Amino acid sequence: MNKNMLAVALAALLVGGVAVAAYNSFNSGADSTASVAPTGFDVATSDGAAAGSAGDFMGSGDISPIAPADQLEYADVVRVEPVKQKQKLYATVIGTDPVRETSTVATPRQVCEDVVVQERAPERDGNVGGTVVGAVVGGLLGNQVGRGNGRKAATAAGAVAGGFVGNRVDRNHVGGQVVERVDTQCRTVSDTAQSTKVVGYNVTYRNPDGTTGTMRTESKPGEKIALGSEDEVIGYDVTYRYHGQERTLRMDERPGDRLPVIDGKVVTQTAAVGGSERG
């Protein structure tokens, strides 16, 4: 009896030890497997999904299988072409100085005024008027002297003497008389006037890279000033080769030499929204 009980006890102890050892071995293997399992690739696809994201672990409580590392492939980038678009180039206005121009304008006009003018009467020669009058007077006076032939002689002598005297008087007192008259005189004068106007602006501006410059404009600018246009890169057309086939997709940023491929699809975080692959 005692031997049987001892045998049963030893058997139970042996079975229990094996069970504990098996349990510990199982737990140790599980921990080891969890520590070396691949974590997957948390990269965004073109539709915004992420491989191995937390959403894969939500649901009924079952853990979704994680893609092992040996399933990740790569496509070789064959060609990258920048996609450019004309964009207006603006600079910030930091100062404006008006440019003024002064001009002189002359306007002609006529000025008239009344002027008193003195002038001398023309000289008379005394041979006509004074001589005739003097002869008549002298003849009358001579006619009063004597009788007969003596009167005739006196009349003739009086006429000759009167003519001579009349000629002298006329010559000395009539010619060279000064007279005055009012005359209207006009002349042309010029009125000058100066005018100043703004013909432009010297504009000081700051470029996007921090450098400054100046330029002349006809009108006063606002806070920004256009400097022309430049080519701006808005994306990249990337041609890649996968399993001997070439395809092209649009990306926002320039890629490296390879693109990751999962389940036959290129995975990229920088694929353009709405961009589609072109065969």
More confident residue, 2 or 185: 185
pTM comes to 0.36
Helix ranges (H only) for 37-180 are 129-143, 149-173
Q: What is the pLDDT of residue 266?
A: 87
pLDDT at 144 over 90: no
pLDDT tens, residue by residue, 148-187: 555 555 556 665 566 665 666 655 554 557 788 888 989 9
Confidence of residue 33 (pLDDT cuts 50, 70, 90): very low
pLDDT at 277 over 80: no
146 touches 153 (CB < 8 A): yes
Which DSSP category does 223 fall into? Answer: S
Q: What is the pLDDT of residue 110?
A: 92
Q: Which of 273, 263, 278 is nearest to 40 (CA)?
A: 263
Please state, in angstroms and rounded to a whole number, the distance separating the CA atoms of residues 83 and 236: 5
Q: What is the pLDDT of residue 212?
A: 93
Confidence of residue 35 (pLDDT cuts 50, 70, 90): very low
Q: Please give the mean pLDDT across all residues of the chain.
A: 69
Q: What is the pLDDT of residue 55?
A: 34
Please state, in angstroms and rounded to a whole number, the distance separating the CA atoms of residues 168 and 166: 5
pLDDT at 127 over 60: no
Question: Which of 16-25, 79-88, 232-241 is predicted with the least confidence, judged by mean pLDDT?
Answer: 16-25
Question: Which of 12-21, 31-40, 141-150, 232-241 is predicted with the least confidence, judged by mean pLDDT?
Answer: 31-40
More confident residue, 42 or 127: 127
More confident residue, 99 or 169: 99
Q: What is the pLDDT of residue 268?
A: 76
38 touches 67 (CB < 8 A): yes
HSE value, Cβ hemisphere, 13 Å, CA-based, for 223: 0
Confidence of residue 117 (pLDDT cuts 50, 70, 90): confident
pLDDT tens, residue by residue, 193-246: 998 999 999 999 999 889 999 999 999 999 999 888 888 899 999 999 998 999
